[in-house]
């Protein structure tokens, strides 16, 4: 079993994770409503080019193009029987790019939500969710990922199901949740309560944190909540969106600049994050600004809300 993530964390104060997948693929020709995961087979060269751009920008961790590649999400595209094939292909593409980087690069198997509501409010049981995530995780592991990266979770039930499903592989597991304008997930979980719940899961997490959300400032605020309730040795992840999405000239654009993302990266370090990257809207150009901002940076005191919003 690969343990590259733990090895690098033991050697370094922080690691840089990559930027966006979906929003960058729109720039490469993906149409709204289409499945990015199908491109692992239909356009593997474009997926490899995106990973390569992130590695060249300085990413230590690249996430596979498999965010929505579980049976429930792929059912929307008539591809629920191709889950193993598409995850395997996505993992192999990232593995090949990382292997040619000339330095250690962690390949993280991205696992996003099912899009279903869990019992007792909705129809999906934790066990059915676990089986779906396990199916995805096994294929990612077969494709050679170093770690399974569960992201954009909003509820306890789905986080529990995803972690349990990922655990069948024996690989290290990272999990992140997404928090909205009210400082809670869509299912009402606050950042401090989120990491406290994560500590109760049977499979220990290699790292836990926040991703996506409504921009870098709010992301750092959620990281403050997580780090404030963290236990000694917890590794915290910050992977924020590149500003706020805006619809201009028929396309979605994000308001963040490289300078804004550089400021965000330093604030995230100050807030306690050791793995820092970008989410929606974050291009290799933005990620390079993150990399440069963190070089030789000594974290300062925990930022106040005024510091974050400045």
Q: What is the pLDDT of residue 32?
A: 87
What pLDDT digit, counting tens, does each position of 237-285 carry?
A: 999 999 888 877 767 778 899 999 999 999 999 999 999 999 999 999 9
What is the side-by-side order of every strand in the sheet holding 106-111?
15-16, 275-278, 236-240, 207-212, 173-177, 147-153, 106-111, 61-63
End-to-end Cα separation, the chain, in angstroms: 44
Residue 1 has what pLDDT? Answer: 41
Rounded Cα gap, residues 132 and 71, in angstroms: 6
* Rounded CA separation 276/294 (Å): 9
β 15-16/61-63 pair status: unpaired
Q: Are strands 245-248 and 106-111 parallel, antiparallel or unpaired?
A: unpaired
pLDDT averages per 10-residue partition of the chain, 310 residues: 87 98 93 95 98 99 99 98 99 99 99 96 96 99 99 98 98 97 92 98 96 94 97 98 82 88 98 98 98 97 87
The pLDDT of residue 2: 55
Q: Which fold has domain 4-309?
A: TIM Barrel (3.20.20)
CA distance 218 to 32: 26
Six token digits for residue 72: 């429930």
DSSP per residue over 217-253, as a string? HHHHHHHHHHHHTPPTT--EEEEE-SS-EEEETTEEE
Backbone region of residue 170 per phi and psi (left: phi > 0; alpha: psi in -120 to 50; beta: other values): left
Domain ranges of the chain: 4-309
The per-residue pLDDT for range 131-151, each reduced to its tens digit, is: 999 999 999 999 999 999 999
Tokens of 146: 């170093």
């Amino acid at each position: 079993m690969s343990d590259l993530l733990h090895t690098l964390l033991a050697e370094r104060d922080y690691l840089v994770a990559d930027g966006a997948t979906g929003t960058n693929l729109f720039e490469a020709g993906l149409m709204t409503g289409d499945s990015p995961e199908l491109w692992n087979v239909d356009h593997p060269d474009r997926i490899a080019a995106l990973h390569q751009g992130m590695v060249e920008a300085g990413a230590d961790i690249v996430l596979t193009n498999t965010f929505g590649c579980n049976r429930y999400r792929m059912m929307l595209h008539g591809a629920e029987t191709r889950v193993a094939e598409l995850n395997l292909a996505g993992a192999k593409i990232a593995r090949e790019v990382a292997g040619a980087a000339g330095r250690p690069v962690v390949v993280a198997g991205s696992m996003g939500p099912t899009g279903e509501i869990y019992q007792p409010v909705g129809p999906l049981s934790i066990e059915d969710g676990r089986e779906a995530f396990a199916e995805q995780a096994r294929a990612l592991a077969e494709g050679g990922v170093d770690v399974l990266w569960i992201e954009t979770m909003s509820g306890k039930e789905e986080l529990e199901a995803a972690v349990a499903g990922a655990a069948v592989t024996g690989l290290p597991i990272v999990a992140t949740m997404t928090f909205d304008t009210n400082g809670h997930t869509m299912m009402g979980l606050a950042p401090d309560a989120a990491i406290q719940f994560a500590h109760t899961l049977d499979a220990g997490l290699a790292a836990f944190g926040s991703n996506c959300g409504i921009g870098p400032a709010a992301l750092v605020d959620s990281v403050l909540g997580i780090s404030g309730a963290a236990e000694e040795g917890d590794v915290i992840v910050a992977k924020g969106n590149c500003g706020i999405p805006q619809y201009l000239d028929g396309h979605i654009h994000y308001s963040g600049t490289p300078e804004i993302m550089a400021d965000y990266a330093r604030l995230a370090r100050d807030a306690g994050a050791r793995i820092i990257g970008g989410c929606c809207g974050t291009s290799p150009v933005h990620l390079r600004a993150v990399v440069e901002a963190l070089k030789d940076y000594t974290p300062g005191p925990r930022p106040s809300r005024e510091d974050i919003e400045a």
